[in-house]
Structure 1
Amino acid sequence: MLQKLQKAVHVGALALSVSFGTVQVAASQTLADAMAMAYEHNGLLDQNRALLRAADEDVAIALSALRPIISWSGSVDYSYGRVRTPSFLGPVTNISRTPDAQIGLSASLLVFDGGAARLAGEAAKESVLATRQGLISVEQTVLLSTVQSFMEVVANREIVELRQNNLRLLERELQAAQDRFEVGEVTRTDVSLAEARLAGARAQLAAAQGDFAASQEFYAATVGTRPGNLVAPRSLPRTAKSIEDAKAVAIRSHPDMIQVQHFIAATELNVDGARAALNPSISLNGGLSVTHEFGANAFQEGASVGVSVNAPIYQGGRLSALIRKAMAQRDQQLANLHITRHSIRQQAGTSWSRLLAAGAQIQASARQVEAARIAFEGVREEAKLGARTTLDVLTAEQDLLDAEADRISAQATQIIAAYALLSSMGQLTVDQLNLKVTRYDPEAYYNLVKDAPVLKSKQGAQLDKLLKAIGKE
């Protein structure tokens, strides 16, 4: 049974040329072209790339805690005061009217904190890796939406053409029924049946045109431009050889699975970091200050160097609560790994089954179309000889129309199912599909910011150029 279904998949792929084989022109657009445009212009990808850059900055923020913190301060003060002698009407004496200015420079360096800052940096790096996998997951969503919108446009376009051809045929059938009524070969009922079926065909054509217009809007929203002359793929992408292979690849390489694993690593580090907060912290501190009194033309200079030690004794249970919270978040991600694993296996199995079912449906539809066409042509010839009624002809024609429409839908469904299977396996990416696009490099920005460069440094200038290049300042 499995071999028959697999054969049906390949037969269905070859049958694509039967319905989708339209005339190609220079402006023809393939599915690969559409996916490439969606990858380069989809706003959802831009949004998640920005989220990834924000996660990259968290690594730099965590690293900054291990570096010296240097700051300056300045002030200008003007003091004025008066004093009266103890006597009742004693004179009032001015104390000071002298302005002075002060400027200072301070620096501190964390020497030891039990590893809390280092662990925070490692957790931030794991979060970056998880966010990268999230970006790949979004990439798969965008590409699969592109496949769906592309095939809906192609299928709906074919159905509109099918409905238009059927409408023209029914118009001829109505004219034939009216001519036969005039010579007394059929009754008025036969003419009314033809008129009713023609009105129904017009309604079906209007519905098909509405679906076609809606699918074009879906395509434009996904790809970023309205569809041109779309050419359906002639073959299916390479997927798995069996359902078990599909599930095994999915568990190993699906971005959602890898993302949860990185989240688990991050939460483990957060637990260790929360425990490290119970340790004392040691910092080196230093400072320089200069005070100048303008009126007296005097100044004062000072410098200090010291070591400070801080250790928690009691904070109302806050630190213990933070440890328990980190442990609960870790347990949440561990449970999420279990859920994600089963979900991915289910998606892979479901996608595999739908792909095989679509192939079998195409094979059956092809036989149905062939049989319905033979039946329609035979009934129409018999009707000319008076052996069949107008109703028989219209019914046979509707059966043929329904069979052809089902085949068109099944062919589109098969292609969508094949790419959905790739998505469930974690392989619907521009790298796996080898699309001709300028790939977004997630490491380019990370490598520039991971060392926490300052704005005026050479590396900071490179960052400015990069941000301008991607249109984000």
Structure 2
Amino acid sequence: MRRIHLLTGVAVLLTTTAPVAAETLREALVKAYNTNPTLAAQRANVRAIDENVPIARSAGLPSVSLTGGYTENVLKAANSFVAPDRQLTGSSTLSVPIYSGGGVKNSVRAAETRVEAGRLSLRGTEADLFTAVVGAYMDVIRDEAIVSLNEQNVKVLDVNLQASKDRFQVGDLTRTDVAQSDARLAVARSQLQTAQARLISSRESYIRLVGTAPGNLEVPPALPNLPADPDSAVQVAVDHNPVLLAAQKNRDASGFDIDVARANRLPTVNVNIGGNYYNYLGSLGSGTGVAVGQSGTSASAGLGLTVPLFQGGRPAAQVRQAQERRAQASEQVTETERGVIAQARSAYAVWKSSLEVIASSEVAVNANKLSLEGVRAENSVGNRTILDILNAEQELLNSQVTLVTSRRDAYVAGFALLAAMGDAEAKDLGLDGGPLYDPIAHYKSVRGKIWDYGSQPDPALVGTSTVQTPAQGSVVTRPLDPILDAPVEPAVDTTGPNPAGVRK
């Protein structure tokens, strides 16, 4: 598996200066890796799957049993002179399986293959979690920027409205101009409320995944080793995607299940060794005056052969059922492969298109800034109306929001593309929050255990509760990118022909 340490390097896609105390994407991923309940539950599931191997092996190991009993004959037949009044018995049996038609061997193989599938599924869960964390992280950054832009827009429109009212008082503008400014400000305020609600929702989603509230989030580093074309992405994804590899392992395991089902109609051979002990506790022949042995032992050894002749069609039905399960698993491999291919291609398309949108939006933002300046200047000489200024301001805001959104989309799509290619798991990310979870260690510790009374303490819960996390607000914690920032309150001269919003 390729290891590329995704989270090292310098930010390129989202370049800005972050505060010293900012929270990084790596820190968010480490928190999620160590405390997310979904990932912890999947780890527990893998440990449970590990136990299927010793369970399967146990069917091929010797078994020992002891039985005992005590009988008190409270009522005896009148003509029974040798029946004991009481009896104590005990027996032991050792049974050693010699041949089981390959059922045990194939059960172990199926269990071992499913252990491998479980580990791959755990890798897929890691990748899915990290992709969701990256999405939530970028959503907060995006929505904070959008809230800042809308706050900036509200302040600009409020200044415009006040200036329009002043010019209306001196007869330079009409009531229609004031109404247009007033309406546009009302719309801007509603857009701000919507943006603030969306920011709160994004922060709550972040808490759900990471376990703590987002702080001052630092812009993440650039994503390295992204493919040059979708075909390259698909080729890597088909070879390395853990979800697809897990589906293939489950298909292989279902093939062993067929052999297990076929073994049910084959002979089995066991070596059986038994011992018996009895003691009549002095009650045998007590009324006859004849000395009789009151205890004894016996032992036996032999081979047991079981040849199934007729089981009502049960073995054949089990074979057919296992064959259909294998067909189902094979179809699920194809289904998963289709999904992986679609995920890789769509993520690549979104990533590439978002990069193009970023470039176009940067041009549009700069152009709209110049356009707004020009419209304001032309309005000062009577060539533009207030509505032209309002439209230019809205176009600037729209292009800024598009730029912020495309930056978020490019990063999330790029990470999703790496996840589809199998390169977005814990060992790929260079996480430095402690040792990584090793599922093989638990498997090695339980595979060879055969003692019936082995136990371990209940696993400690890893997932952390967020009940005590305060409800999130919409206060912005980070400054705007310089390309997005603009003076909020332009110099306004209400005594002359200079209209609202003209920069001096």
TM-score, normalized by length of structure 2?
Answer: 0.83
Deviation of residue 273 (structure 1)?
2.1
Determine the structure 2 residue equivalent to 1:25. 20
1:432-468 CA distance string (max 9 Å, x none): 1222243111101100111134265xxx57xx37x65
1:34-45 residue pairs with structure 2 within 5 A?
34-45=28-39
1:59 aligns with 2:53: yes
Compared with structure 1, are the counterparts of its residues 47 and 164 closer, same or farther at alpha carbon in structure 2 (3 Å cutoff)?
same
> Contact conserved, 1:355 with 1:418, CA < 8 A, in 2?
yes
Determine the structure 2 residue equivalent to 1:407. 403
1:72 aligns with 2:66: yes
Deviation of residue 69 (structure 1)?
0.7
Which of 226, 234, 254 is the matching residue for 2:241? 254
Determine the structure 2 residue equivalent to 1:16. 14
Determine the structure 1 residue equivalent to 2:500. none
1:115 aligns with 2:124: no
Task: Tell me how far apart the structure 2 counterparts of residues 35 and 136 of structure 1 sit (CA, whole Å).
Answer: 15
Determine the structure 2 residue equivalent to 1:440. 437
1:348 aligns with 2:344: yes
Compared with structure 1, are the counterparts of its residues 376 and 130 closer, same or farther at alpha carbon in structure 2 (3 Å cutoff)?
same
1:180-219 CA distance string (max 9 Å, x none): 1111110111111111111111111100000000001111
Deviation of residue 252 (structure 1)?
0.5
1:305-384 residue pairs with structure 2 within 5 A?
305-384=301-380
Task: Tell me how far apart the structure 2 counterparts of residues 427 and 418 of structure 1 sit (CA, whole Å).
Answer: 11
1:286 aligns with 2:273: yes
> Would you say how many aligned residue pairs link Structure 1 and Structure 2?
443
Determine the structure 2 residue equivalent to 1:156. 143
Compared with structure 1, are the counterparts of its residues 471 and 310 closer, same or farther at alpha carbon in structure 2 (3 Å cutoff)?
farther
Compared with structure 1, are the counterparts of its residues 249 and 210 closer, same or farther at alpha carbon in structure 2 (3 Å cutoff)?
same
> Contact conserved, 1:81 with 1:96, CA < 8 A, in 2?
no
1:132 aligns with 2:119: yes
> Contact conserved, 2:34 with 2:462, CA < 8 A, in 1?
no
Compared with structure 1, are the counterparts of its residues 391 and 337 closer, same or farther at alpha carbon in structure 2 (3 Å cutoff)?
same
1:47 aligns with 2:47: no
Compared with structure 1, are the counterparts of its residues 307 and 264 closer, same or farther at alpha carbon in structure 2 (3 Å cutoff)?
same
Task: Tell me how far apart the structure 2 counterparts of residues 447 and 470 of structure 1 sit (CA, whole Å).
Answer: 22
Deviation of residue 42 (structure 1)?
1.1
Which of 274, 279, 300 is the matching residue for 2:296? 300
Task: Tell me how far apart the structure 1 counterparts of residues 62 and 295 of structure 2 sit (CA, whole Å).
Answer: 29
Task: Tell me how far apart the structure 1 counterparts of residues 63 and 150 of structure 2 sit (CA, whole Å).
Answer: 74
Determine the structure 1 residue equivalent to 2:487. none
Deviation of residue 67 (structure 1)?
0.9
Deviation of residue 94 (structure 1)?
10
Task: Tell me how far apart the structure 2 counterparts of residues 470 and 220 of structure 1 sit (CA, whole Å).
Answer: 18
Compared with structure 1, are the counterparts of its residues 199 and 469 closer, same or farther at alpha carbon in structure 2 (3 Å cutoff)?
closer
| Local SS of the residue matching 1:416 | helix
Which of 154, 157, 180 is the matching residue for 2:167? 180
Does 163-172 or 268-277 show the bigger shift? 268-277
Deviation of residue 381 (structure 1)?
2.1
| Local SS of the residue matching 1:386 | coil
1:81 aligns with 2:75: yes
Deviation of residue 302 (structure 1)?
2.1
Letter in 2 for 1:53: R
| Structure 2, gaps ≥5 residues long | 1-10, 285-293, 464-504
Whose helix fraction is larger, Structure 1's or Structure 2's?
1
Task: Tell me how far apart the structure 2 counterparts of residues 337 and 468 of structure 1 sit (CA, whole Å).
Answer: 33
Determine the structure 1 residue equivalent to 2:468. none
| Structure 1, gaps ≥5 residues long | 1-12, 86-92
Compared with structure 1, are the counterparts of its residues 368 and 256 closer, same or farther at alpha carbon in structure 2 (3 Å cutoff)?
same
TM-score, normalized by length of structure 1?
Answer: 0.89
Provide the aligned C-alpha RMSD in A: 2.2
1:18-56 CA distance string (max 9 Å, x none): xxx254132x11112111211111111111111111111
Letter in 2 for 1:75: G
| Local SS of the residue matching 1:230 | coil
* Identical amino acids, percent of aligned pairs: 33
1:429 aligns with 2:425: yes
Task: Tell me how far apart the structure 1 counterparts of residues 359 and 50 of structure 2 sit (CA, whole Å).
Answer: 51
> Contact conserved, 2:50 with 2:446, CA < 8 A, in 1?
yes
Compared with structure 1, are the counterparts of its residues 277 and 135 closer, same or farther at alpha carbon in structure 2 (3 Å cutoff)?
same
| Local SS of the residue matching 1:147 | helix
Determine the structure 2 residue equivalent to 1:232. 219
| Local SS of the residue matching 1:125 | helix
> Contact conserved, 1:62 with 1:120, CA < 8 A, in 2?
yes
